[in-house]
Amino acid sequence: MKKQLFTKFLFGLMAIAVLSCVEDDDFNLIDVGIGQDPIVNGRLTSISAVQELFVADQVTTIEDDIAIEGYVISSDEAGNFFEELFIQSSADGNDESNRGIRVSVNVRSLFGQFEVGRKVFVELEGLAIGEDGGVLTIGKPDGNEVGQIEESEINSRIKRSTEVATITPKEVTLSQLTDQDLYTLITLPSVQFTESEIALTYAGEETDEFDGERTLESCSMDGGSIKLFTSTFADFKSLDLPDASGSITAVYSKDFFGEENILTIRSTEDLDFSGERCEPSLLNPNIEATTTFDAIRDAFINSGGDEYVEFSPDASELIIEGYVISSDEKGNLFEEIYVQNTPGTQDLGANDPRLGFRISVNARDTYQTYEVGRKVYIRLNGLAVGRDGGVVTIGYPNVSEVQEIPESLMTEFVVPGEEIATLEPLIGTTVDFDEDDLGTLVQLENTQFLLEELGLTFSGEATDEFDGERTLESCGDDGGSIQLFTSTFADFSLLTLPESSGTITALYTRNFNNSQSILVINDPDTDISFAGERCDPPILDCGVAAGEGANTLFSEDWESFGSGDVSGNGWTNYAQAGSQLWENYSSGGTNASLGVSARVGSFRSGDESTIVWLISPAVDYNAQDGEVLTFQTSNSFADGSELEVLFSNDWDGTTAGITNATWSLLSQAGVVSDDQFFGDWVTSGNVDLSCAEGTGYVAFKYTGSGNEDFDGTYELDEINITAN
Condensed to tens digits (0 to 9), the pLDDT of residues 245-298 reads 999 999 999 998 888 899 999 999 999 999 999 877 666 788 999 999 999 999
What does the pLDDT read at residue 724? 85
What does the pLDDT read at residue 451? 87
What does the pLDDT read at residue 281? 63
In whole angstroms, give the CA distance from residue 381 to residue 371. 24
Does one domain contain both 359 and 507? no
pTM score, whole prediction: 0.57
Domain of residue 270, CATH code: 2.40.50
Angle value at C-alpha 533, between 531 and 538, nearest 5 degrees: 155
Does one domain contain both 11 and 131? yes
What does the pLDDT read at residue 676? 61
Q: Is residue 480 part of a domain?
A: yes
Last residue of a domain, one of 164, 181, 203: 164
Does one domain contain both 108 and 201? no
Q: Is residue 541 part of a domain?
A: no
Cβ atoms of 452 and 673 closer than 8 Å: no
Instruction: Count Cβ atoms below 10 Å from residue 504 Cβ, excluding itself.
Output: 24
Q: Is residue 261 part of a domain?
A: yes
Q: Is residue 538 part of a domain?
A: no
Cβ atoms of 271 and 202 closer than 8 Å: no
Q: For residue 523, report the phi and psi dihedrals to the nearest 5 degrees.
A: -160, 120
Q: Position 233: which residue type?
A: F
Q: Is residue 520 part of a domain?
A: yes
Residues of the chain under the 70 pLDDT cut:
1-35, 281-283, 305-306, 478-479, 588-594, 637-640, 674-679, 705-711
Task: Please name every residue paired with 392 in a beta bridge, in sequence order, or none if there are none.
Answer: 387
Q: Is residue 30 part of a domain?
A: yes
What does the pLDDT read at residue 637? 66
Domain of residue 627, CATH code: 2.60.120.200
Angle value at C-alpha 235, between 232 and 238, nearest 5 degrees: 65
Residues in the chain: 724
What does the pLDDT read at residue 607? 76
Does one domain contain both 709 and 583? yes
What does the pLDDT read at residue 129? 97
Does one domain contain both 489 and 414? no
Does one domain contain both 501 and 527? yes
Domains held by the chain: number: 5
Does one domain contain both 190 and 140? no
Q: Report CA dihedral (354, 360, 362, 365) to the nearest 10 degrees.
A: 30
Last residue of a domain, one of 374, 405, 420: 420
Does one domain contain both 153 and 174? no
Does one domain contain both 565 and 714? yes
Does one domain contain both 96 and 188? no
CA distances from 215 to 230, 380, 455 (A): 11, 33, 34
Q: Is 691 helix (H, G, I), strand (E, B) or coil?
A: coil
What does the pLDDT read at residue 351? 83
In whole angstroms, give the CA distance from residue 218 to residue 506. 28
Domain extent for 338: 293-420
Last residue of a domain, one of 118, 134, 164: 164
Cβ atoms of 407 and 395 closer than 8 Å: no
Q: Is residue 342 part of a domain?
A: yes
What does the pLDDT read at residue 318? 96
In whole angstroms, give the CA distance from residue 158 to residue 150. 11
Does one domain contain both 527 and 577? no
Does one domain contain both 588 and 527? no
In whole angstroms, give the CA distance from residue 541 to residue 553. 20
